[in-house]
Amino acid sequence: MLHTQTVETGTYELLKSIMSDTVFDQFSLAGGTALSLLIGHRKSIDLDLFTVDEFNPSWIEKYLQDKYAFRGDFREGFSLKGEVNGVKLDFIRHDYPDVEARIQDDGIRLYSLKDIAAMKLSAIADNGTRLKDFIDVAYLSGYLSLKEMLTAFGTKYPQTNPYRAAKGLSYYDDIRFTEKIDLLGKDFRWEDITARLSAMTKEENKRFGLLDKVQKEERVQIPRRKSRGIR
């Protein structure tokens, strides 16, 4: 069962409508909203819809404008970004293999936890500015070990060294800490996130308990000045 309390009612209704529209059969939900719906750890507001296939962004934009009052703000290659009634929508071709079969629940197509973990690690390795990516990886440690995440990363992105992503988990200087974080049932404490990330890198084969039950001994500070990773 999906954790629908993690998204606003209007956002979920829009998602359901898009998922039931055969025009978008090739797209599945990725990113933080997919993860929030699967594990229920935080509120999320954006809809990231990915496909491995080519699509026609111009045609999709016109269709969305006519049916959903879509307002586009970016279109290039196989990417289309915009919003519907204040809900941010991204349609992106992500031409990488699935690690596991996609999930279907309540009419919603979602990427698996392993695929989401791989994409989150990729974002951290390539950019490392989004606070939510680090939080999401920390929460994923309650379901997957870091070793499992890195194996998924290697499957999805075979041309990239997985340990580049692992090293990125210890580098925080580029993070934008102005992002609003709305965890469910828990106050946001950055020290809990860094403690969990540190523990993950020390015990790569361990699946930790849920982050809501973080142990005091995990709460350690990590040196901030480290290179992002090997390339």
The pLDDT tens digits of the residues spanning 122-132 come to: 999 999 999 99
Mean local confidence (pLDDT), 65-80: 98
Q: What distance in Å separates the CA atoms of residue 141 and residue 145, rounded to the nearest whole number?
A: 6
pLDDT of residue 218: 58
Q: What distance in Å separates the CA atoms of residue 3 and residue 5, rounded to the nearest whole number?
A: 5
Ranges of each domain in the chain: 4-110, 113-218
DSSP annotation string for 147-205: HHHHHHHHHH-TTS-HHHHHHHTT--TT-BTTS---BSSS---HHHHHHHHHHHHH-TT
Instruction: Please write the tens of the pLDDT for every residue from 131-189.
Output: 999 999 999 999 999 999 999 999 999 999 988 889 999 999 999 999 999 999 889 99
pLDDT of residue 163: 86
pLDDT of residue 219: 53
pLDDT of residue 224: 47
Percent of the chain scored above 90 by pLDDT?
87
Is the pLDDT at 194 greater than 90? The verdict is yes
Strand partners, 71: 83
Q: How far is CA 207 from CA 146, 190, 196, in A?
A: 8, 20, 11
Is the pLDDT at 112 greater than 50? The verdict is yes
Tell me, which fold does domain 4-110 have in CATH?
Beta Polymerase; domain 2 (3.30.460)
Q: Where does the pLDDT of residue 18 fall: very low under 50, low under 70, confident under 90, or very high at 90 and above?
A: very high
pLDDT of residue 20: 99
Query: Which of 36-40, 135-139, 190-194, 225-229 has the weakest average pLDDT?
Result: 225-229
Average pLDDT, the chain: 93
Is the pLDDT at 40 greater than 50? The verdict is yes
Is the pLDDT at 222 greater than 50? The verdict is no
pLDDT of residue 16: 99
Percent of the chain scored above 70 by pLDDT?
92
Place of tokens 């009612």: 9
What's CA 117's distance to the chain center, in Å?
7
Three-class SS state of 94: coil
pLDDT of residue 223: 44
Is the pLDDT at 225 greater than 50? The verdict is no
